[in-house]
Structure formats: C-alpha cells, structure tokens
Structure 1
Amino acid sequence: MGKINQVRKLTDNAYLNLYNVKATSIHNTPVDYFVASRAKSEKEMKLSTGENPPDGVIIYSLYGEKKDKVVLIRQYRYPIGTYAYEFPAGLVEKGEDYHDSAVRELYEETGLTLTPLKVDEAYQKPYFTSVGMSDESCAAVYGYASGTVSTDAQEASEEIQVVLADREEVKRILREERVSIMCAYMLMHFLKDEKPFDFLEVLK
C-alpha cells in the first residue's frame, strides 16, 4: 500500500476544495496527486479520518398513482457546458440525517414531497462518486414522491428542469441524452423491474 507523506490545501472555497497529496507508491516511486474534497481542512479529509460520512444524498423516487414515473432533473452543468439528466441530489448539512436531507433536497429542487423507504443498509450507505478524483461520497435514499412540481424553492444559481419520466421516456434519455452514471444505472433497474424497487428485495 502507498504511503501519504503530506497533504496541502490549495483553495479556500465554500463547498469544494483542491488538495495536493504528496505520497510514495507501493513501488517506492514519488506520487504528486490532486484531490477534490468537500472537507474544510486537511484534518477533515477522509484520508486523514478513515471515516466515510456522506457528503451528499441522491434521491431515487417514483411518482404517480401507478408509481410508473421516475423523478429526474435536467440540470445545466458547467464542467460539460450543457445539460445532463440526474437524480435530484444535494449536500448533507452538518448534523443533518441524510434521510432528512433527501426530503429537503427533493422539495427544494422539484417542489415534491418525499416519503422515504426503509431499505437494507447496503443499498443506502455512502458510496464514493468519483474516487479517482475526489473523496466525495453520497448516500442513496429511495421513496415515493407526491404533490405538484414547482421550481419556487430552487436557488437562483441553479438551472434545473423537473422531469417525470415514464419507461418510454427513460429509454429515450438513455439512448440520446447526457446522463450521470449513477442515475443511468438506476434507470436501467427502473426499466427492468416488474414492480417498483424490485431490486431492493434482493438482500432480504
């Protein structure tokens, strides 16, 4: 296993920062690595604490009387200079349970009310989002959405369209649109499952 020798914070932003990691690889060669992190300091980084609290939450929710539509957002993303389809998501606030974060974030982004499901921990624990570049991890929350779509609670800096997609629209999105990989994999489950959230029963 490699050895981390030094970590230095390079930026001082509110939500995401760049860190330089100096290390020695398992082959005894020097490593000069850059990591994006939600941590406020070197001591709070996951490479320092060894812990993995969720930085954010991703919400997979179904909508409609027949639970036959999935709640998506189509959001403008600056790194790619265009729109991408994603699940509603957001950061977990300090001291906040991530299930509560999911309820709050779904309302803020879509105007809908989330009723979370109780699922096996293996399906909702924090997993890393892009571990080659960042120590960020997100927990998944599954549930049913209700109410009327509204963008009134969105932040002024956000450019988000709410999409309630049935299976035919999901097929089109996967074929034709830019989609985040986490969202894409879940949409494949949505297409395959005969009943809503069928895949969540596997570990029981």
Structure 2
Amino acid sequence: MGKIHDVQKLTDNRFVNLYHVDATSVHNTPVSYYVASRAKDIPSLKMKTGRNDPDGVIIYSVYGEKKDKVVLIRQYRYALGGYIYEFPAGLVEPNEDFHEGAVREMHEETGLKLEPLKVDPAYEKPYFTTIGMTDESCATVYGYASGEISKAAQEDTEEIEVVLADRDEVRRILKEENVAIMCAYMLMHFLKDEEPFAFLR
C-alpha cells in the first residue's frame, strides 16, 4: 500500500477545494497527487478520517399515477460549457440525514414533493463519484415524486430545467444527450424494469 507523507490545502473555496498529496507508492516511487474535495480542511479529508460520510445525495424518483415517468433535470454545467441530464441532487448539509437532504433538494430543484422508499442499506450507502480526482461520495435515495413543478426555490446561480421523462424520452436522452454516469446507469434500469425499482428487491 502507498504511504502518504504530507497533505497541503491549496485553495479556500466554499464548496470544493484542491489538496496536494505528497506520497510514496507501493513500488517506492515518489507520488505527487492532487485531490479535489468537499472537505473544509485537511483533518476532514476521507484519507484522514477513514470515514465515508456522504457529501451529497442523488435522487432517483418516478412520477405520475402510472409511475411511468422519471424525474430528471437538464442543467447547465460550467465544466462542460453546456447542458447535461442528471437526477436531482445536492450537498448534504452539516448534521442533516441524507434522506432529509433528498427531500429538501428535490423541493429546491424541482418544486416536487419526494416520498422516499425504505431500501436495503447496500443500495443507498454513499458510493464514490470520480475517485481518480476526488474523494466525494454520494448516497442515493429512491422514491416517488408528486406535486407541481416549480423553479421558485432554485438558486440564482443555477440553470435547471425539470424533465419528466417517459421511456421513449429516456431512450432518446441516453442516445443523443450528455448524461451523468450515475444517472445513466439508473436510467438503464428504468428502461428494463417493467415495475419501477424492481431491482431494489
């Protein structure tokens, strides 16, 4: 196993920071590595705590009387200079249970009300997003959405369109559009499963 010798915080931003890691690999080779993290300081990095508390939450929900539409957002992302389809998602606030965070984020981004499902913890525990560059992890909350779409609670910095996509639209999106990978895999389940969330049983 590699050995970490020193960590330096290089930026001081609100939502994400860059850290430099000085290490030695298992082959005794010097390593200079950079990690983007939601951690506010070095002691809070997952490499220091050994914990995997979720930084964020991703919401896979279906909508409608027939439960035949999935709730997506089409969001402008500066990293792409364009739009990408994602699930509603957001950061978990300090001392907030991620299920509560999911309900809050769903309302803020879409105006919809989320009724979370109780599932096996293996399906909702936090998994890592892009481990080659960040220690960020996100939990997944599954559920049913209801109500009317509204942008009233969206932040001024966000550019979000709410999309209620049926299976035909999901097929088009996967074929033609930019899609976040975590969302794409779940959309493949949505296409395959006759009953929503069948894969959770």
Normalised to the residue count of structure 2, the TM-score between the two structures is 1.00
Query: Unpaired runs of 5+ in structure 2?
Result: none
| CA drift at 1:194 | 1.1
2:153 match = 153
Q: Percent identity?
A: 73
Counterpart in 2 of 1:135? 135
Alignment correspondent of 2:10: 10
Amino acid at match of 1:26: V
Tell me the SS of whatever aligns to 1:189: helix
SS in 2 for 1:118: coil
User: Which amino acid is 1:47 matched to?
Assistant: M
Q: Aligned residue for 2:29?
A: 29
1:104 partner SS:
helix
Q: CA separation in 2, counterparts of 1:95 and 1:79?
A: 29
Q: Match for 2:189: what amino acid?
A: H
Question: What amino acid does structure 2 have at the position aligned with 1:167?
Answer: R
Equivalent residue number for residue 19 of structure 1: 19
Measure the CA separation in 2 of the matches of 1:179 and 1:89.
14
Structure 2 counterparts to residues 114-133 of structure 1, below 5 A: 114-133=114-133
SS of the aligned residue for 1:58 comes to strand
Aligned residue pairs, count: 201
Question: Helix, strand or coil for the counterpart of 2:57?
Answer: strand
State the alpha-carbon separation in 2 of the partners of residues 152 and 34 from structure 1: 38
TM-superposition CA deviations, 1:88-117 (whole Å, max 9, x none): 000000000000000000000000000000
SS of the equivalent of 1:99 reads helix
Question: Displacement, 1:123?
Answer: 0.2
Correspondence for 1:53: 53
What are the Cα deviations for residues 27-46 of structure 1, in whole angstroms up to 9, with x where unaligned? 00000000000001111000
Map of 1:85-100 to 2, 5 A cutoff? 85-100=85-100
Letter in 2 for 1:111: G
Q: Within 2, Cα distance between the matches of 1:161 and 1:199?
A: 28
Q: Which residue of 2 aligns with 1:172?
A: 172
Instruction: Provide TM-score, normalisation by structure 1.
Output: 0.98
Q: Using the alignment, how far apart are the partners of 1:124 and 1:98 within structure 2?
A: 10
Counterparts of 2:79 and 2:155 in 1: how far apart (Å)? Answer: 19
- Report what 1:63 is aligned to: 63
User: What is the one-letter code of the residue matched to 1:96?
Assistant: E
- Structure 1 residue runs of 5 or longer lacking an equivalent are none
Aligned-residue Cα RMSD (Å) equals: 0.3
Task: Tell me which stretches of 4 or more aligned residues in structure 1 moved more than 2 Å.
Answer: none
Q: Secondary structure at the match of 2:196?
A: coil
Amino acid at match of 2:27: H
